[in-house]
Amino acid sequence: MADKKAVKEKGSLLQYFHIAVSIALMFGFGYLPPFSTVTPVGMRLLGIFLGVIYGYSTCDIIWPSLVAIIAFGLSGYPANMAAGVTSMMGSSLVFQVITQYFTAGAIVIYGVGRWFVRKTLSQKIFMGRPLLYTWCFMFVFMWSCIVLETIPMFLLLYGIWNDIADSCDYEKDSTFRYYGFGGILVSLLLGVSMMPYKSWQLGLATSWANVTGVKINLGQMLCCTSIIGTVVITAYVLLGAKLFHVDFSAMKAFDVNKLGEESKVLRPRAKRIMAVYFVTVLLSLYAGTFSGTALTNFIEKTLTVSGLFCLCTAILLIIPGGEGDGKPAIIFNDIKHSDAAVSWPVIFMCAVTIPLASALTTEATGILPWLSDVFTPVFAGRSPIFIMILTIVLMVFLTNVGSNIALGNAMIPVISPFILASGVNPMFFGCALVYAANIGIFLPGSSAPASIFHGRSEIPNVKLRNKATLLGIGLHTLVSCIVYTAAFLITN
């Protein structure tokens, strides 16, 4: 009994130490003398970012987020506390995630996950072949993200994978969940940047073309990225199963009849939610693909994607569910207390880390000129192959510690002069840079999908989450270096 009490007291002391370190970084790091081109504001923002990541990794999510909002409001980067709170909690991304959570979560709550599990696991090709099922699951949805919105897909697939784990009676702390959640994160991000024809990826590709005078060939890039994606997913499924020591016996022996008769068909309520949800996704896809049309201009400039998903949720809270109970398609009381519908840790992570990561790369911090000074000598006098590999490695590293679009744009003028001076075709270098900039998953602030992943209550163990992300990052980096170097050598 005394030993247990001593262990508990030691754990409490260690927890208070982590709390103290997190707060000291947020409020004390900025008093250190600035270095190189980094400004005092840059030091304060860097300290807040380091402090909140440390707090997330060792303590909790909610209180470090709240303290970070206070520190951000006092940092001098926003005009005042009100501006700081607005830029974080008032972000359109936060609002978009909340409304998408309502809909994607309702889809899972009303039985789509269990229906999907029964429909797919009962197929003869998958019976007794859990690795093949896992590979197909990730491979198919990787390709879907070329056209579909990633955030709603993440929310939906995490819910479905959790249903698979629950249906097969995997424990709550089972490595099966970490393995699957990590694979979903990696595969969807592999898919969304296969062709940079929309969103920030298009902006980065346009910046590359403006600086180098050579546009990225979408077809040639797709050839490379499809190979990279297929190899990375295959390696993740096989190596991840061994790395996480996943026991597939429960999934292999799973009897779909355990799911009950109600899982054989979709409820009318679920069908209506899915119909409205996917119409919304298609509208956002249309706006991201066909520029200049009246509908695109209305969605992007007037309604916005956040407003579009807000409208989707509002419609589903109004239209009848079709089950004769006189209630709407989404019953708010069914979803308001469910982690599948709304995860506040995820919302706070998105609210805090993404604005912080973006703020770090603004002109006020002086961090980008410092990065330029550091990396420019590294590229000088190097061979094209060396530049290709270093471009991929650096972009993968940088996108995991800051804003991918900001750091990608910062690296273009650093790298491009040395590529152009060598006289080689710079096209594949641009492809490599854009694709590598998309794999920001290690830290919660690396990207919106990373914030959603690290904030999920189903996977609370930081070490296991990091193991999944590091496996994905390592495989992506290695395979990208090989494929893009081979493409460069073949075409030059």
**pLDDT at residue 149 in the model:** 66
250-267 mean pLDDT:
76
Q: Containing domain of residue 432, as a range?
A: 346-491
Query: Domain check: are 244 and 383 in the same one?
Result: no
User: Residue type at 399?
Assistant: T
pLDDT tens-digit series, residues 409-449: 778 878 888 888 888 888 999 999 999 988 889 888 777 78
**Number of compact structural domains in the chain:** 3
Task: Name every residue whose Cβ is closer than 8 Å to that of residue 444 and which is 6 or more positions away in sequence.
Answer: 53, 56, 349, 353, 450, 451, 454, 455
Which of 39-48, 87-96, 195-204 is predicted least confidently? 195-204
Q: Which of 86-100, 108-122, 173-187 has the highest average model confidence (pLDDT)?
A: 173-187
Question: What's the token pair of residue 112?
Answer: 């789509």
Query: Domain check: are 250 and 324 in the same one?
Result: yes
Q: Which residues of 137-157 are buried (b: 16+ CB within 10 A; e: fewer)?
A: bbbebbbbbbbbbbbbbbbbb
Query: Domain check: are 308 and 435 in the same one?
Result: no
Residue 340 lies in a domain: no
Query: Domain check: are 29 and 56 in the same one?
Result: yes
CA dist., res. 118 & res. 122, Å (int): 6
Torsion region of 89: left, alpha or beta (phi above 0 gives left; psi -120 to 50 gives alpha): alpha
pLDDT at 337 over 70: no
Choose between 445 and 2: higher pLDDT.
445
| % of residues, the chain, pLDDT over 90 | 34
**pLDDT at residue 8 in the model:** 53
Residue 465 lies in a domain: yes
Query: Domain check: are 241 and 323 in the same one?
Result: yes
Question: What's the token pair of residue 137?
Answer: 């699951």
Alpha-carbon torsion 52, 25, 359, 70, what sign?
Answer: positive
151-179 mean pLDDT:
86
308-313 mean pLDDT:
89
Residue 405 lies in a domain: yes
Residue 243's Cβ-count burial label (10 Å; 0-12, 13-18, 19+) is middle
Question: What's the token pair of residue 369?
Answer: 């000129």
Residue 243 lies in a domain: yes
Residue 209 lies in a domain: no
CA dist., res. 432 & res. 485, Å (int): 9
Domain boundary among 288, 307, 335: 335
pLDDT tens-digit series, residues 369-406: 887 788 788 888 889 999 999 999 999 998 887 666 66
pLDDT at 11 over 70: no
In the three-class reduction of DSSP (H, G, I as helix; E, B as strand; rest coil), residue 402 is classed as: coil
End-to-end alpha-carbon separation of the chain, Å? Answer: 72
412-to-212, 218, 316 alpha-carbon distances in Å: 9, 19, 44
Query: Domain check: are 438 and 475 in the same one?
Result: yes
349 phi, psi to nearest 5 deg: -60, -45
Query: Domain check: are 329 and 390 in the same one?
Result: no
**pLDDT at residue 7 in the model:** 46
**pLDDT at residue 30 in the model:** 92
CA dist., res. 307 & res. 284, Å (int): 11
**pLDDT at residue 148 in the model:** 65
Residue 2's Cβ-count burial label (10 Å; 0-12, 13-18, 19+) is exposed
Query: Domain check: are 250 and 267 in the same one?
Result: yes
Task: Give residue 160's Cα distance to chain centre.
Answer: 17
196 in Cβ contact with 209 (< 8 Å): no
pLDDT at 71 over 90: yes
**pLDDT at residue 89 in the model:** 87
Domain boundary among 335, 367, 384: 335
pLDDT at 21 over 80: yes
pLDDT band at 245 (very low <50, low <70, confident <90, very high): very high
**pLDDT at residue 329 in the model:** 92
pLDDT at 10 over 60: no
Average pLDDT value over all residues in the chain? 85
Question: What's the token pair of residue 411?
Answer: 């690296």
Query: Domain check: are 360 and 250 in the same one?
Result: no
48-52: Cβ within 8 A, 24+ apart? 48/72, 48/75, 48/356, 49/353, 49/356, 49/357, 49/360, 49/445, 50/25, 51/21, 51/22, 51/23, 51/24, 51/25, 51/26, 51/27, 52/22, 52/26, 52/352, 52/353, 52/356
**pLDDT at residue 227 in the model:** 97
pLDDT tens-digit series, residues 338-362: 655 567 777 887 788 778 877 877 8
Query: Domain check: are 146 and 70 in the same one?
Result: no
pLDDT tens-digit series, residues 143-163: 888 766 677 778 878 888 988
**pLDDT at residue 43 in the model:** 94
pLDDT band at 263 (very low <50, low <70, confident <90, very high): confident
**pLDDT at residue 382 in the model:** 86
CA dist., res. 248 & res. 17, Å (int): 39
492 in Cβ contact with 257 (< 8 Å): no
Query: Treating both helix axes as pointing N-terminal to C-terminal, what angle do 130-144 and 218-243 enclose, rounded to 10 degrees?
Result: 150
40-66 mean pLDDT:
87
Query: Domain check: are 420 and 446 in the same one?
Result: yes
CA dist., res. 456 & res. 452, Å (int): 6
167 in Cβ contact with 254 (< 8 Å): yes
Q: Is the pTM of this model over 0.75?
A: no
Residue 215 lies in a domain: no
263-276 mean pLDDT:
87
Query: Domain check: are 11 and 143 in the same one?
Result: no
Residue 480 lies in a domain: yes
Residue 245's Cβ-count burial label (10 Å; 0-12, 13-18, 19+) is exposed
Domain boundary among 72, 89, 106: 89
430 in Cβ contact with 181 (< 8 Å): no
Residue 206 lies in a domain: no
